[in-house]
A and B are shown apart, each in its own frame.
Chain A
Amino acid sequence: MSHMQSVPGFDQETALGQEAELAGAPQKPGKRKKIATGEGRLAFFLVTPTVILLAVIVGYPIVKAIIASFQKDRGLNPATGFFDQGGGFAGFDNYKTWLLQQCPKPGGGTIKCPPGTLASEFWASVGFTLGVTIVAVALETVIGMIMALMMHKAFKGRGLVRAAILIPWAIPTAVSAKLWQVIYAPSGVADRVVGWFGFNNVQWSEKWPARIAIVFTDTWKTTPFMALLILAGLQGIPDELYESAKVDGASAWQRFWRITLPLVKPALAVALIFRSLDTLRMYDLPAILTGGANGTTTLSILVVKQIQSGPNSASALSTITFIFIFACAFVLVKLLGANIFPKPPAKVKAR
């Protein structure tokens, strides 16, 4: 019975003394409370449905994909010349096909994957995915920071700006891809705009223009979101800090580097990591805008292309993809020292 009144949530330390009194439990100040058994049981019933559902919808498919990635796909067996039903143990062959470019050779053995196969596109698409992420997220961070500073400074019309800024975010990516397709159409708006800067006859479907188009479109859509997250961080900085820095003669630039940036860094780091994760798994935008043609195939597009021709090989690729994304996330978390995983209250307090 006592469970409803006892232990607080994340930041409820202040109320702890009172609550302990209510619950009638002996409580040393500053020490973590012993977990009541009733509370644990209630929590178990409340949390279990979520855990089971996620285990079924996310955990099971991922385990299944990992198992499938070590199995042969059905198809013509190049060693024997017969049609293989697939399913046999393949070892790391599927991974080798992608990572080491070892495609099966007629008559057994392997050769370097010839151009035109999906496997031969692997490293190019890793490079493209990583490149888009680095460039787009860097642009989004810088422009988002500038926008957030502008919004923070603008006293009048902040509500209007905040409403406007949510519009690119609210437009579904599929719609935004179609919209920019019209803008990048031959002799469309984009042609005219770059024409002002002396770039005539840009073929937006070519490799580099298409890549730039994808980066620009992604930046347009997600920068406002980034700006909102940064703005939330900015609003937590007390004005007194700037005031005293100004009294001490700090320039605007110094105030930005010494006060704004360090204090906004936790919010910025989390926003940056989540944006990077999102961009690394990008699918909608290039799939609709270019269809992945001309060197704009992201890893997600490559997986989707592979599913029909060989699901086990596609499983290997999707496993590579998520390990790659988690590795990137790990590096970013280490680099930025961000707290993206929830921690027990003691550590939250120390932050």
Chain B
Amino acid sequence: MTSSVQAPTAAAGAGDTTFEHPKRGFPWGTFGSYASIVIILVWCLTPFYYMTIMAFRQPDYALDNSLVPSHLTLSNFKYAFNTTNNHFGRSLINGVIIGIAVTVIGMAVGVFAAYAMARLQFRFKYLILGAVLAASMFPGVAILTPLFQLFTDWGWLGTYQGLIVPQISGALPLAVFVLTSFFTDMPWELEQAARVDGATPGQAFRLVILPLAAPALFTCAILIFLSVWNEYLLSVNLYNGNDNVAPPTVALAKFTAGPHVQPYTQTMAAGLIITIPLVIVVLICQRRIVSGLTAGGVKG
């Protein structure tokens, strides 16, 4: 390790001398390396850890402020699914329905545009790509006001379609950008070989491109689903108080245990239920997600 080149250490705090005299004194390089890992882990995980132990703590001990798990109980989770005050269980189903619908529509439309962007040469290509990017840059409130009025007229407030359609505005540009980037990086020689061997364009796309692109499509679907699962602004203003269609973020924001009660531990249990599936997916697919994020974000 000492013979390999280290990244600039100015920010990390380890000195140059380590590199030139690796065998003398305290191993600052290794120590700094571990210390920085610990710092990052503490930064990222402490609040999440706190949420987890709060979710398992008895409500009466909510403001214990102890970082050690204590007064453990499962009652908070039971309360989260209790339908007296909240409709949290239902909101999870709604979240899945809305998330899958937006993901499927966004991907089904976006995959063709992305293929064309990456593979074909046509007029106004960069103008269209720019317009797609610009569409994703509008703040949610810019489309919220007119949609609120339109949906009032159409009776779409508090319906599934009223929550699904507006979110395509974010999902579709995301799909186009992530998939364009993935498609551009794919080896096209394989498709050409298939074409030379006599495959029609349709066969080449179906038998060669789609299997190759499957991981990219999967990553893109996860990114879209995550963004829809996280959405709050449009949902909270368009669900119109209808708990039968409210997504989990909305149900959590108005999570209550009755008047004048702060349901800290119960809310943390509900929050944990919303988050855990995401954390599991993210941990399993971290490599793909990171490549998808950097593809969509950096290459833009």
Contacts and interface: CB of A to CB of B under 8 A. Distances in A.
Interface in B97-146: 109-110, 112-113, 115-123, 125-126, 128-133, 135, 137-146
Nearest to A315: B145
Contacts of A322: 138-139, 142
Interface size class of A (residues with CB under 8 A): 35 or more
Contact of B118 (A10, A22, A159): A10
Contacts of B233: 283-284, 287, 300, 304
Interface string A93-131: 000000000000000000000000000000000000000
B194 to A, nearest CB: 10
B65 interface: yes
Contacts of A271: 297-298
Given A157-B37, A252-B8, A260-B8, A57 B50 contact: no
A160 B128 CA distance: 40
B192 A22 contact: yes
B188 interface: yes
B244 interface: no
Contacts of A318: 139, 141-142, 144-145
Contact of A246 (B5, B47, B131): B5
B112 A7 contact: no
A232 B298 contact: yes
Given A54-B131, A153-B33, A65 B145 contact: yes
B293 to A, nearest CB: 6
Interface in A217-276: 220, 223-225, 228-229, 232-234, 239, 242-243, 246, 251-253, 255-256, 259-260, 266-267, 270-271, 274
Contacts of B176: 50
A327 interface: no
Interface in A11-43: 11-12, 15, 19, 22, 33, 35-36, 39-40, 42-43
Contact of B264 (A172, A182, A253): A182
Contacts of A44: 122
Contacts of B189: 15
Interface stretch (B71-79, B82-90, B210-218, B274-282): B274-282
A212 interface: no
B255 interface: yes
B264 to A, nearest CB: 5
A5 interface: yes
Nearest 10 A-B pairs (CB), nearest first?
A: A281-B139, A150-B36, A43-B122, A7-B121, A174-B249, A50-B113, A46-B116, A232-B294, A256-B8, A61-B146
B44 A33 contact: no
25 contacts: A7-B121, A12-B184, A43-B122, A44-B122, A47-B116, A50-B113, A57-B169, A150-B11, A153-B7, A153-B9, A161-B41, A166-B282, A171-B278, A172-B248, A172-B278, A173-B232, A174-B232, A185-B63, A229-B294, A242-B6, A253-B10, A281-B140, A307-B145, A307-B237, A318-B141
Contact of A304 (B48, B118, B144, B298): B144
B120 A3 contact: yes
Interface of A: 3-12, 15, 19, 22, 33, 35-36, 39-40, 42-47, 49-51, 53-54, 57-62, 64-65, 68, 145-147, 149-157, 159-180, 182-183, 185, 187-189, 192, 220, 223-225, 228-229, 232-234, 239, 242-243, 246, 251-253, 255-256, 259-260, 266-267, 270-271, 274, 277, 280-281, 283-284, 287-288, 299-300, 303-304, 307, 311, 314-315, 318-319, 321-322, 325-326, 329, 339-344
Contact of A58 (B9, B125, B143): B143
A340 B232 contact: no
Contact of B11 (A256, A277, A288): A256
Nearest to B110: A50
B271 to A, nearest CB: 4
A285 B32 CA distance: 34
A47 B168 CA distance: 16
B11 A149 contact: yes
A343 B275 CA distance: 38
B126 A344 contact: yes
B207 interface: no
B47 A220 contact: yes
Contact of B137 (A152, A267, A329): A329
A174 B126 contact: no
B300 interface: yes
A273 to B, nearest CB: 9
Contacts of B129: 341-342
A4 B201 contact: yes
B85 to A, nearest CB: 15
Nearest to A223: B43
A289 to B, nearest CB: 10
Contacts of A159: 286
Contact of B37 (A53, A161, A233, A255): A161
A152 B250 CA distance: 38
Contact of A243 (B5, B172, B229, B252): B5
Contacts of B300: 270, 274, 339-342
Contacts of B1: 155
B143 A22 contact: no
B44 A165 contact: yes
Given A10-B118, A51-B128, A53-B168, 8 more contacts: A8-B188, A62-B142, A149-B11, A151-B40, A155-B33, A178-B267, A179-B271, A232-B290
A188 B63 contact: yes
Interface in B216-261: 226, 229-230, 232-233, 236-237, 248-250, 252-253, 255
